[in-house]
């Protein structure tokens, strides 16, 4: 005989508490989606999140420095070949500061700062740091930033999933699916973080990052919506959907 258990029967105070938590987490999920679009989404210069964005964020763009790419592309007409080669060589040597004052600064003054100066919206090449920045090969996320983001992510998000799963654990739901849904976010969270590290070294793993994020967002969404519905909708409305067929046989318990 099916009974209306825990969630639907909670005292009002706990329903309000859980509802507040779940709503805030729901909005948080939406915001984190938006944040990913805004930061990683633009990494390849095109709006919208793509596999390339993930590759650029974690693996980087290792084909060379931006300086070299520009000097072989759009900035090619700005300086004669020997000067360009000197700049490219300097970038490939790692942009040493010792060469800045004797060789690189004069080149910048002569060929580049007419446009790349403090007053323009372009990177200001009168300053070493700015030239150095475009001279570096983009190696993607550093080990330091990955460890930092990984541990914050794992600790922080584990608690969110713990409480979402805890509340959902009180819902009426076919046991097997309940267990799968509760386990899914933790599994995908581990996969997600693992995929950043894999992508840092092997760019093809970027798709795993995508799947990880989608996986735990979906599972959390189902748990949040189910929990909210069971707390606030009258049981007759959802009992038949979320429990076994037996629910239909014992409508009397739905009061």
Of 85 and 177, which has the nearer Cβ to ligand HEC? 85
Q: Which two tokens stand for residue 196?
A: 């950043």
Give yes or no for residue 59 binding ligand HEC (CB under 6 A): no
Q: Between 74 and 98, whose beta carbon lies closer to ligand HEC?
A: 74
- Rounded to a whole number of angstroms, the minimum distance from the CB of residue 167 to ligand HEC is 47
- Round to whole Å and give the CA distance between 223 and 221: 5
Q: Confirm or reject binding of residue 142 to ligand HEC (CB under 6 A).
A: no
**Residue 77 Cβ vs ligand HEC, minimum distance, rounded to whole Å:** 9
The token pair that represents 18 in the structure block? 């859980």
Q: 138-172 burial string, b = 16+ CB within 10 Å, else e?
A: eebbeeeebeeeeeeeeeebeebbeebbebbbbbb
Residues belonging to the chain:
255
At 1, list the tokens: 């005989």
**Residues between 80 and 119 that touch ligand HEC (CB under 6 A):** 87, 111-112, 114-116
Interacting span for ligand HEC (CB under 6 A) from 20-28, 50-58, 63-71, 92-100: 63-71
Which listed residue (13, 74, 98, 255) binds ligand HEC by CB under 6 A? 74
Q: 183 and 223 in contact (C-beta within 8 Å)?
A: no
User: Of residues 36, 70, 137, 218, which one binds ligand HEC by CB under 6 A?
Assistant: 70
Exactly one of 64, 123, 169, 215 binds ligand HEC (CB under 6 A); that residue is 123
**Shortest reach from residue 120's CB to ligand HEC, in Å:** 8
Calpha distance 219→180 (Å, rounded): 9
Applying CB under 6 A, which part among 22-30, 65-73, 196-204, 227-235 lies near ligand HEC? 65-73
Q: Which of 134, 206, 208, 231 binds ligand HEC (CB under 6 A)?
A: 134
CA dist 235 and 254 (Å) reads 6
Report the alpha-carbon distance of residue 236 to residue 5 in Å, rounded: 13
Determine contact, residues 206/58, Cβ cutoff 8 Å: yes
Q: Are 161 and 196 in contact (CB under 8 A)?
A: no
Q: Which stretch binds ligand HEC (CB under 6 A): 8-16, 22-30, 33-41, 72-80?
A: 72-80
87 closest CA partner among 57, 66, 118, 115: 66
Q: Does 79 bind ligand HEC (CB under 6 A)?
A: yes
- Binding of residue 75 to ligand HEC (CB under 6 A): yes
- Which residues of the chain form contacts with ligand HEC (CB under 6 A)? 66-67, 70-71, 74-75, 78-79, 87, 111-112, 114-116, 122-123, 134
């Amino acid at each position: 005989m099916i009974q209306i258990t825990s969630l639907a029967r909670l005292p009002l105070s706990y329903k309000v508490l859980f509802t507040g938590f779940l709503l805030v987490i729901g909005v948080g999920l939406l915001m984190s989606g938006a944040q990913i679009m805004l930061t990683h989404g633009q990494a390849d210069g095109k709006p919208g999140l793509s596999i390339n964005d993930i590759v650029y964020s974690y693996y980087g763009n290792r084909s060379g420095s931006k300086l070299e790419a520009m000097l072989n592309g759009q900035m090619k007409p700005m300086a004669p070949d020997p000067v360009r080669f000197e700049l490219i060589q300097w970038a490939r040597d790692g942009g040493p500061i010792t060469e800045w004052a004797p060789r690189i600064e004069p080149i910048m003054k002569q060929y580049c700062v007419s446009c790349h100066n403090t007053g323009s919206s372009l990177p200001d090449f009168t300053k070493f740091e700015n030239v150095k920045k475009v001279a570096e090969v983009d190696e993607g996320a550093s080990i330091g930033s990955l460890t930092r983001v990984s541990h914050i992510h794992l600790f922080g998000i584990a608690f969110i999933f713990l409480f979402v799963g805890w509340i959902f654990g009180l819902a009426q739901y076919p046991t097997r699916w309940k267990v799968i849904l509760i386990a899914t976010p933790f599994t995908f969270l581990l996969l997600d973080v693992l995929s950043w590290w894999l992508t840092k070294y092997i760019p093809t793993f970027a798709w795993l990052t995508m799947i990880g994020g989608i996986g735990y967002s979906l599972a959390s969404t189902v748990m949040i919506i189910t929990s909210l519905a069971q707390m606030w909708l009258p049981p007759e409305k959802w009992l038949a959907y979320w429990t076994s067929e037996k629910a239909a046989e014992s409508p009397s318990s739905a009061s």
